[in-house]
Chain A
Amino acid sequence: MEGKRELIYYIARRAAASVLVIIGTIIIVFLISHLLTNDPARLWAGPKARGVTIAYVIQRYHLNAPLLVQLWYFIVDFFTGNLGIDPITGASISSEILFYFPNTLELVLTSLLFIIIMGVGLGYLAAINFSSKKDALIRILYSAAWASPTFLVAILAILIFTSYIPIFPSGGMNSPGMIPPAHITGLYVLDSLLSRNLGDFTDGLYHLILPSLALAFLNFGIVTRISRNGILSVKWLPYVKVARAKGLDETKVSRNHILRTGLIESNTVIAVMFGWLITGTVVVEQIFSWPGIGKFAYSAISESNYPVLIFVVITFTIFVIIANLIADIMYAILDPRIRLGGEN
């Protein structure tokens, strides 16, 4: 590949920057949780905590130490995975986050798949029918999907497909009584497939479809929009005309000349999308009672479980940052102008 050395430099530079951003994020969250309130101890211990609990929390999170020392403990605790005990369940917070995370990953990856199919497909359809009725219809559809509040789509999906036309289960990851497959990757559906447990696999898939479709419907709009506009921005460029003038047939022109350049931006948006989907899981997982990190965050909110909430927030943010890093790297691989210093 041309400019391979530049690409490696570029990735190293972006990765280093991402590590700095992650540390910066932890500092921001620390400042929010320690400075935006008059009484951090009360916040960390919960609104109805007894004196003993508050004393424990002060000692555990070093709340009486100078601010910089507290920050130091906060960062060290985070990177050693020593986040403290969930005051409601009594388990360690880091193990809970690790337990819930694969379920969320499964949901997000599946809906990402749906988004790619729906987003790029509709975007292409709209662009080749530019300024026609079909184009307008697709634009209204994705504007509507984008404008829908998460809870509206999730509830309508449940009401329509589990109550009025009962073809999907209303929530959860598997039917009651199913024994989860052996822990291989942590992803339920993948594990049941790997351990050749067909019953578990279909059951898991069956539960996975509706929530991931709901999540995909909420977010496909931006991919469609970017694909459509990307294709439109190259569709009339002179080099496409040249390709046609050379006598290439229309499928080759659109595959090799229009789509390759027109969809560069869509690729990066899809990577960024990963981060947005993770954010969307807070509402979707709660409504579909999907035992992932979003539902975990939701219950932490309703139980005023501040320590859990703070560390879940950091986890979410780190995943968004990593998704952005992947997007940047993909952009650099697909578009040599970036890594060769055309921008920045």
Chain B
Amino acid sequence: MNPTYRKWLNIVFSNRLSASGFVIISIFLIIALLYLIFGNLILPYNPIQINLSQVNAPPSFRHLFGTDQEGRDIFSRVIAALPVDLGISMLVVVASAALGLILGVLAGYYRGIFEEIIMRVTDLFFALPPLIMAMAIAITLGSSLINASIAIIIVWWPPYVRLVRGSTLEVTANEYITMSKVLNTPFIKIFTKGIFPNIVTSLLVYATMDIGTAILTLSTLGFLGIGIPVGTPELGVMSSILSTNFYTYPLEGLIPAFFIFLIVMGFSLTGEGVAEIIDPNIRGHLISRKRRLEEMKKIKAGSRPSDIGPQ
């Protein structure tokens, strides 16, 4: 395996929080991939077929999560929704990161009037509340999955520009970048060899946590009935039944809502653990489980524990 990947896996698995988050995400991603490859073959029922003789059925062995108000099997719909939710939110994050990388590096590297224009526009977009603006854009564009993605991307990119510009400024202050400039190294080489390897870590951590936030925003749009066509197997749209009849059949909406929670939780836990490990203020004081057990043994044995933490 590539050593960089191994380093990343080590970071993720060195901490229980991020390890459990990573496992959750991987399971959902694998199921989503399987559905993309095999389609309805792996599902017990067709997720979009309406069956009015099986309306509002409670969970049972035939319908694991029950059926919705149009008789569609909720278990099948949840699985069919995974590629939609994960796909759109990953698309949003990747597009925003790409935009942020381009604008942020240009602003941080070339400075001057260029930076001024990019950063003022970014500040302006940064001030907009994402959900509210995405609502306005999605309604204006009309309902379709592509329009929903565009609406979220338009409000999603500003933090990436700020992040990338900040790290670019830090990196380009180093002598080796100045040296390369003096030696007339082409920009593309300075970028790939000097700048990119140094900013990719913070970008990756932020993007990982951000996929969860994007899913929350997307599903809220679905819940409000904006941007995502009615009947699409999407977790937010499926939960929207909650806005009308949650007293009679609460499970029909709560199950998809709970899956949104699980997915976002996976991303959130992964980021939470990783962010701690790369934070220089905290990193040195983390105590591994193994070490704590050793310390406990020492205390029990009557000897003085060693001072924990860097000196």
Contacts and interface: CB of A to CB of B under 8 A. Distances in A.
Interface of A: 21, 24-25, 28-29, 32-33, 36-37, 43, 130-131, 136, 139-140, 143-144, 146-152, 155-156, 158-159, 163, 229, 232-233, 236, 275-276, 278-279, 282-283, 286-287, 297-298, 301-302, 306, 309-310, 313, 316-317, 320-321, 324
A278 B261 contact: no
A282 B131 CA distance: 10
18 contacts: A25-B128, A29-B136, A32-B133, A36-B137, A139-B17, A143-B272, A149-B239, A149-B264, A151-B223, A152-B261, A155-B254, A229-B282, A233-B281, A282-B131, A301-B139, A301-B224, A317-B128, A324-B127
A139 B273 CA distance: 10
Nearest to A221: B268
Given A143-B265, A143-B268, A163 B247 contact: yes
B155 to A, nearest CB: 10
A236 B307 CA distance: 13
Interface stretch (B41-49, B57-65, B212-220): B212-220
Contact of B272 (A139, A149, A159): A139
B84 to A, nearest CB: 15
Contacts of B161: none
Interface of B: 16-17, 123-125, 127-133, 135-137, 139-142, 212, 216, 219-220, 223-226, 236, 239, 242-243, 246-247, 250, 253-254, 257-258, 260-261, 264-265, 267-269, 272, 279, 281-282, 285-287, 309
B129 A152 contact: no
A284 to B, nearest CB: 11
Given A301-B135, A301-B226, A316-B132, A151 B123 contact: no
B219 A149 contact: yes
A155 B246 contact: yes
A205 B216 CA distance: 30
A321 B265 contact: no
B257 A152 contact: yes
Contacts of A131: 285-287
Nearest to A294: B132
A301 B142 CA distance: 12
A28 B120 CA distance: 14
Interface of A is mostly: helix
A271 to B, nearest CB: 14
A21 B124 contact: yes
A155 B127 CA distance: 30
Contacts of B128: 25, 28, 317, 320
A100 to B, nearest CB: 15
Nearest to A232: B282
Which residue among B136, B247, B286, B287 has the maximum number of chain A CB atoms within 10 Å of its CB? B136
B265 A149 contact: no
A275 B212 CA distance: 20
A236 B309 contact: yes
Given A147-B261, A152-B261, A309-B136, A286 B281 contact: no
Given A151-B242, A236-B285, 17 more contacts: A32-B133, A36-B137, A37-B141, A149-B219, A149-B264, A150-B220, A155-B257, A159-B247, A236-B309, A282-B224, A298-B224, A301-B135, A302-B225, A309-B135, A309-B139, A313-B136, A317-B129
A43 B131 CA distance: 20
Q: Give the most central of B127, B268, B309: most A CB within 10 Å.
A: B127
A147 B242 contact: no
Contacts of A140: 17, 269
B224 to A, nearest CB: 6
B139 A306 contact: yes
A32 B125 CA distance: 13
Nearest to A316: B132
Nearest to B136: A313
B279 to A, nearest CB: 7
A283 B127 contact: no
Nearest to A300: B139
A297 B136 CA distance: 11
A94 to B, nearest CB: 18
A306 to B, nearest CB: 7
A276 B129 CA distance: 8
A93 to B, nearest CB: 15
Contact of A286 (B16, B141, B243, B279): B243
Nearest to B253: A155
B283 to A, nearest CB: 11
Contacts of B141: 36-37
B154 to A, nearest CB: 8
